[in-house]
Amino acid sequence: MTTASAPIWDGLLLGASLATLAGAQGYGEVADGALGWRDGVLTYVGPRAALPDAPPRLAREVIETDGGWVTPGLVDCHTHLVFAGERAREFELRLQGASYEEIARAGGGILSTVRAVRAADEDALLRQSLPRAQALLADGATTLEIKSGYGLDYENERKMLRVARRIGVELGIGVRTTCLAAHALPPEYAGRADAYVDAAIEWLPRLHAEGLVDAVDAFCEGIGFSPAQTRRLFGAARALGLPVKLHADQLSDLGGAALAAEFGGLSADHVEHTCDAGVRAMAARGTVAVLLPGAFHVLRETKLPPLDAFRAHGVAMAVATDCNPGTSPLLSLRQAMQLACTHFRLTPEEALRGATVHAARALGLADRGALRVGARADFVLWDIGHPAELGYWLGGRLARAVYAGGRKRA
């Protein structure tokens, strides 16, 4: 509990219980709590009874609630939500027995979205993508990571990253952009994967110079890019001072998690096939395991990530939507939390920490993910009786109000 140094706060929320997540374990519960903020930063987190003065003298706006819970704003640390078109037909094909790899090799999958993205101008791409971000925000997500990877040439990758930045400005939320040029091999580079990686490496400094890249990612997989190609791309990222993330070990174990850890990666994502050596490498470098239960669910996978090994070695586990048109058309991070509890048997507390504390860490963000003085004033007021309900309910609207930077956004 810390009192504010300034006599006037911008806002003060009273009457709800707080799940601060400030400690290493537990929800960090504060009954009949108070949350104060100024200039977009939390200035008071604690019991109402310990406020240093009468509420009207502390804040310009005092918000009285009739119960509920406040948590940190959710952080969706892995999305592909900037895209054009949809791929519902592929969903039908998978239900009829076609595999993800069969669809991709037949010209579907990522490349079908590439064609749609290339055909859309920047404004059209924003119009199609913005509602998806709004849906995530309405269900509590105040920070989004958004990847490129459906352009696969310089101008269209740049277009995607520009749209991602515009979404953050439009909605007033945090957006972190990740360059995923090494997502798939475009048709014009068929049979020339090394040459395409060379091209992507050449684009990276220009995109970074425009302020469009916060991190670099790759799809390291048999139908994607090899560990050697990924290593070259990550070397270029490191030369620019950019952190890396990796789509690792989703369909097979190519040592992707260990490769991400070798480069001090923020995260290794998917990780269903990660071996014990990969887990140990992640633990040694502090690389976060990002669990993506939406794709696991839609693809009807059965190979679980090494969850017990992550726990045993102290690897932080984040949870994200993987919102994308082909394998995870998921527009609720809270629903991803529920799927993580159901499929991966995370506890509700683990799922909530995965979508807040650990997700922020997976983006290299130390200023959010928990309710504490000095953190960004990103928080959600939920109509629930206990935080476990966030991993319990299937669907429905539970968020009463969503604040980002101290301003109500949904």
Q: CA nearest 384: which of 344, 350, 345, 334?
A: 334
Confirm or deny that 392 is annotated as ligand binding: no
Measured distance CA(290)–CA(271) in Å, rounded: 8
Any binding-site annotation on 297? no
Residue 249, annotated as binding a ligand: no
Q: How confident is the model at residue 162 (pLDDT cuts 50, 70, 90)?
A: very high
270 is in an annotated binding site: no
Chain segment 197-246, per-residue pLDDT in tens: 999 999 999 999 999 999 999 999 999 999 999 999 999 999 999 999 99
What is the four-CA torsion angle of 26, 267, 178, 405, rounded to 10 degrees?
20
pLDDT of residue 95: 87
Tell me if 326 is assigned to a ligand binding site. yes
Residue 150 annotated as binding?
A: yes
Would the pLDDT of 8 be above 90? no
Mean pLDDT, rounded, for 38-60? 96
The yes-or-no verdict on residue 2 having pLDDT over 60 is no
Pair 71, 371: CB distance under 8 Å:
yes
Q: Is 247 annotated as a binding residue?
A: yes
Beta carbons within 8 Å of 155's beta carbon, 6+ residues apart: none
Q: Copy the structure tokens of residue 250.
A: 């989703």
**Average pLDDT along the chain:** 95
Residue 80 annotated as binding site: yes
- List C-alpha distances in Å: 14 to 18, 37, 38, 152, 327: 10, 12, 15, 49, 41
Q: Which domains can be identified in the chain, with CATH numbers? A: 9-72+370-408 (2.30.40.10), 74-362 (3.20.20.140)
273 has binding-site annotation:
no
Q: Is the pLDDT of residue 61 over 70?
A: yes
Take residue 340 and report the two structure tokens written for it. 């993580």
CA angle 179/184/187 to nearest 5° reads: 120
Stated pTM of the model: 0.96
| DSSP code per residue over 261-298 | HHTT-SEEEE-TT--HHHHHHHHHHTPEEEE-HHHHHH
**Cα–Cα distance for residue pair 373/44, rounded to 1 Å:** 6
Q: How many CB atoms lie within 10 A of CB 193?
A: 15
Query: Which residues make Cβ contacts (< 8 Å) with residue 277, sequence separation at least 6?
Result: 255, 258
